[in-house]
Amino acid sequence: MSKKNGSKKTKIWIAIGVLVVLGGMVGVILGSKQKPKGTEVDVAVVEADSIVQTVAASGKVQPAVDVNISANVSGRIVSLGAEEGDDVKRGDMLVQIEDEDYSAAVQQAEFSLRSAEASLEESQSTLNRIKQLHERDLAADADLEQAQATVKRLTAEVDRVQAALTEAKDRLAKTRIYAPIAGTVTRLNKEQGEMAIGATFSEDVIMVVSQLDAMEVNAEVNENDVVLVDVGDPVKIEVYAIPDTSFKGIVTEIGHSGLVQGQGTAEEVTNFEVKVTIMDQVARLRPGMSATVDIITERRDKAVVVPQEAVAVRSMKKEKKLEEKARSEENKKKGGKKKSNFDDDKGFEEEELSEVVYVINEDTAW
């Protein structure tokens, strides 16, 4: 073979190679135009799991039983039977108020009673004598009536003085205050030597006795959430002072009247008081501690669970028309004559939106 023929064949092969490369590039470009590259997304497998609906709120820890100890009579405190933090039993003396004036009042009432009883006895004897004389017509009717009236008057006087003596003894007894329940003194407001103001309709609290073995959280729940809460709902409780620990609780009471904050302002909020009993025994809990509660209002087991990112809100009518339009355009490319009924977005605003879930179909999320 001559040198000239070899050079000619080489040029032919080079030309063929260039055409092949150009053809491949054109194919890639056309392919990329027909199938545009999509956005890569994470996928997850649908599974069955338990889901719960909760209502969150905050509040304060407090004893389920809390008794204010106050005086019914006024006087200076001469003795305290317990200090803050002491455990007391029912019937233990907690407070003693000076009793000299009340003791003197009892003695005076006793003297008055003895005097009234003596007068009544004397008038009764006089009445008996007049009755005997009247039977023999030796005493007038007026004398008999007067003697009977005197006996009635002095009988009433004895009853009055007896009532005064009972009242004086009661006031004397109230100078000593005893524990109405067994518990712990959680607050002491007065010291020995201070005045205790006794009143019937207002309290001058001397100390507070609480039963710390039964605690609860007094939480405030927003008006939009309280309608979801029922008595008996289980609760998860977390106390700020005891981190990384949660306690079990249960809703035991729901307030019927709202607590309005910022009334008449743009920040007005209405909450309802919800009491949550703490089921666990926790020695470290103290009244007044801040806590948060998660009230489980609904629970569903073995529910179909999907990632939140897979849920979208769509107009189903619009989605169907978009699919119809896409199929119509595809038919046109293939030479078909089918027309689309797609008419912009007319009527979409009248349709309620629906929640839909993306699913994988042929490596594409739809």
**Looking at the predicted structure, is the pLDDT value of residue 188 above 80?**
yes
Structure tokens at 241: 């002072």
The C-alpha angle with vertex 123 and arms to 121 and 125, in degrees rounded to 5, equals 70
Q: What is the DSSP code (8-state) at residue 47? A: E
The vertex-101 CA angle with 69 and 105, nearest 5°, equals 105
| Averaged pLDDT for residues 275-290 | 90
Instruction: Name the one residue in this structure whose structure tokens are 């605690």.
Output: 215
Q: How confident is the model at residue 262 (pLDDT cuts 50, 70, 90)?
A: confident
Tell me the pLDDT tens digit for each residue of 21-31.
Answer: 444 454 544 45
pLDDT, residue 189, reads 93
CA distance 247 to 282: 9
Q: What is the pTM of this model?
A: 0.63
Which is nearest to 173 in space by CA: 269, 64, 229, 97? 97
The first and second tokens of residue 93, run together, are 């003396």
Could you give the angle at which helices 100-135 and 141-173 cross, rounded to 10 degrees? 160
**Rounded Cα distance, 35 and 280, in Å:** 62
Residue 259 pLDDT greater than 80, yes or no:
yes
Confidence of residue 329 (pLDDT cuts 50, 70, 90): low
Lowest mean pLDDT among 50-59, 213-222, 307-316, 317-326: 317-326
Return all residues near 225 (Cβ < 8 A) that are at least 6 apart. Answer: 55, 57
Q: What is the DSSP letter of 227?
A: T
Q: What's the pLDDT band for 342 if we cut at 50, 70, 90? A: very low
What's residue 11's pLDDT?
52
